[in-house]
């Protein structure tokens, strides 16, 4: 099947599945992810002019690496599958970019052991953690990471999450945010083993994947500083109260300070620090050209991220109202009530009725319930 994306023409072997053409080498659902990647690379190059080399670590059809090569990056594509390597080479030639990028048929951990790259992009199927150590050892400036194992990350597949991320994820009403916080925590701890500090400059999540861009600082003091952002979330399953505490050691609550219940969960270590650099995200938004297939959606996402209150968990208005036995009202009105009561409040980019605020669950109810009858 023929695909055009970001000005690049691709040929990918397709299969008819339930009347829809699909390819194991090309996932159209990730086009937004790739459009944002290219805009992020453009923005990052202005910040770090020295950055030239880009590794597309799991290249498949080659689409991400080819788009980066078309943008002037010194690209290496890598894949373990011979079919993918042939396909990526064909697609580079199809776009007259065969001289701008090379394709390696190798285990990418071995490749990263041999060579350093300014930017490394890990976009595996499932967890990226088996590649994190080699990436932190050999990446100079920017590490881009996708995780598609959202059920382990958010605590829905508990044991798998514990194994992959050396952390305790919990299944709460803020699934995607739990995934974000567990993933960045695990990456920060992997980086620290190599005396590398991480700063997440852009992070977004859907029900299908979590994506984060980490600016690296290769010194021990930066790694220490990153670890300062780790801590735990204590969460009440009855009233949805949650609080966070920084530090490597958890000191769980014995009972809920809001409802007195004892069905409390502890998640962590999670990343409690910021996951966006708001100015960087705004610059990424302006770097998205109209020609990108997902331009409108990608800009909207950036705008929501820029405005999002910097809190490590989000709420879901419908779940809160259901818990209180009250009807939900319009989100705008609900958030206005919070702001009028003096709290910060914003929609969350996770969609639906998710929002972020610095108010506690009791404060949210007191500020909004007058409008909920």
User: Strand ranges (DSSP E) for the chain?
Assistant: 2-5, 8-11, 15-17, 20-22, 53-56, 74-79, 101-105, 117-122, 139-147, 197-205, 210-217, 230-236, 242-246, 264-271, 315-316, 345-347, 354-357
- Distances, alpha carbon 350 to alpha carbons 133, 285, 332, in Å: 29, 18, 16
Q: Rounded CA gap, 339 and 345, in Å?
A: 6
Does residue 342 have a cis peptide bond before it, meaning omega lies within 30 degrees of 0? no
Which residue in the set 239, 298, 345, 359 belongs to the binding site for Zn ion (CB under 5 A)? 239
Among 84, 143, 236, 335, binds Zn ion (CB under 5 A): 236
CA distance 112 to 73: 18
**Alpha-carbon distance 22 to 14, whole Å?**
5
**Count of H-run helices and E-run strands, the chain:** 14, 17
Among 25, 213, 241, 355, interactor with Zn ion by CB under 5 A: 241
| Smaller CB separation from Zn ion, 130 or 257 | 257
Which of 48, 81, 217, 238 binds Zn ion (CB under 5 A)? It is 238
State the binding string over 182-221 for Zn ion (x if CB under 5 A, else -).
----------------------------------------
Name the phi and psi angles at 182, rounded to 5.
-70, -45
CB 172, min distance to Zn ion, A:
13
Alpha carbon distance 117, 53 (integer Å): 5
Q: Rule CB under 5 A: say whether 261 interacts with Zn ion.
A: yes
Report if residue 258 touches Zn ion, rule: CB under 5 A: yes
**Binding status of residue 101 toward Zn ion by CB under 5 A:** no
Q: Hunting for tokens 């009530």 — which residue is that? A: 337
Least gap, CB of 266 to Zn ion (angstroms): 14
The piece of 36-44, 210-218, 252-260, 289-297 that touches Zn ion (CB under 5 A) is 252-260
Phi–psi pair at 193, nearest 5 degrees: -65, -20
Region binding Zn ion by CB under 5 A among candidate stretches 115-123, 194-202, 259-267, 331-339 = 259-267
Residue among 67 and 258 whose Cβ is closer to Zn ion: 258
Binding residues for S-adenosyl-L-methionine: 34, 64, 79
DSSP string, 193-233: HTT-EEEEEEEEE-SS-EEEEEEEE-SHHHHHHHHTTEEEE
Least gap, CB of 241 to Zn ion (angstroms): 4
Question: Least distance from C-beta 360 to Zn ion, angstroms?
Answer: 11
Residue 28 is a binding residue for Zn ion (CB under 5 A): no
Toward Zn ion, which CB reaches closer, 98 or 264?
Answer: 264
Q: Which of 259, 309, 326, 331 binds Zn ion (CB under 5 A)?
A: 259
Q: Which residues pair with 265 in a beta bridge?
A: 235
256: contact with Zn ion by CB under 5 A: yes
Rounded least distance, CB 171 to Zn ion, Å: 16
User: Which of these ranges, 10-18, 236-244, 299-307, 318-326, lies near Zn ion under the rule CB under 5 A?
Assistant: 236-244
Annotated binding site: 34, 64, 79, 236, 239, 256, 259
Residues that bind Zn ion (CB under 5 A): 236, 238-239, 241, 256, 258-259, 261
């Amino acid at each position: 099947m023929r695909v055009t994306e970001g000005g690049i023409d691709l040929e990918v072997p397709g299969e008819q599945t339930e009347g829809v053409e699909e390819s194991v080498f090309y996932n159209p659902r990730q086009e937004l992810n790739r459009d944002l990647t290219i805009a992020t690379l453009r923005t990052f190059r202005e910040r770090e002019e020295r950055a030239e080399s880009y590794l597309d670590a799991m290249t498949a059809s080659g689409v991400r690496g080819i788009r980066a090569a078309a943008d002037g990056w010194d690209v290496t594509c890598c894949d373990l599958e011979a079919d993918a390597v042939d396909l990526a080479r064909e697609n580079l030639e199809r776009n007259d970019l065969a001289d701008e990028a090379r394709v390696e048929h190798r285990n990418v951990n071995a490749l990263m052991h041999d060579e350093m790259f300014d930017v490394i992009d890990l976009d595996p199927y499932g967890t990226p953690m088996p590649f994190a150590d080699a990436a932190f050892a050999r990446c100079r400036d920017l590490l881009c990471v996708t995780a598609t194992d959202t059920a382990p990350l958010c605590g829905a597949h508990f044991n798998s999450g514990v194994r992959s991320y050396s952390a305790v994820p919990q299944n709460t009403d803020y699934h995607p945010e739990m995934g974000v916080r567990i993933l960045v925590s695990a990456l920060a701890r992997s980086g620290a083993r190599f005396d590398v500090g991480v700063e997440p400059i852009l992070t977004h999540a859907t029900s299908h994947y979590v994506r984060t861009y980490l600016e690296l600082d290769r010194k021990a003091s930066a790694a220490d500083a990153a670890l300062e952002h780790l801590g735990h979330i204590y969460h009440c399953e009855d009233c949805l109260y949650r609080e966070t505490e920084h530090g490597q050691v958890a000191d769980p609550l014995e009972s809920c300070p809001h409802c007195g219940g004892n069905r409390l969960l502890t998640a962590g270590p999670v990343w409690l620090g910021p996951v966006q650099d708001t100015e960087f995200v705004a610059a990424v938004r302006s770097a998205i050209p109209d020609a990108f297939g997902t331009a409108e959606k990608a800009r909207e996402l950036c705008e929501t991220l820029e405005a999002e209150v910097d809190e490590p968990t989000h709420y879901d208005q419908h779940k809160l109202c259901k818990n209180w036995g009250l009807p939900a009202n319009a989100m705008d009105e609900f958030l206005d009530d919070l702001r009028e009561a003096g709290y910060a409040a914003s929609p969350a980019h996770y969609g639906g009725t998710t929002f972020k605020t610095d108010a506690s669950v009791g404060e949210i109810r007191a500020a909004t319930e007058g409008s909920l009858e």
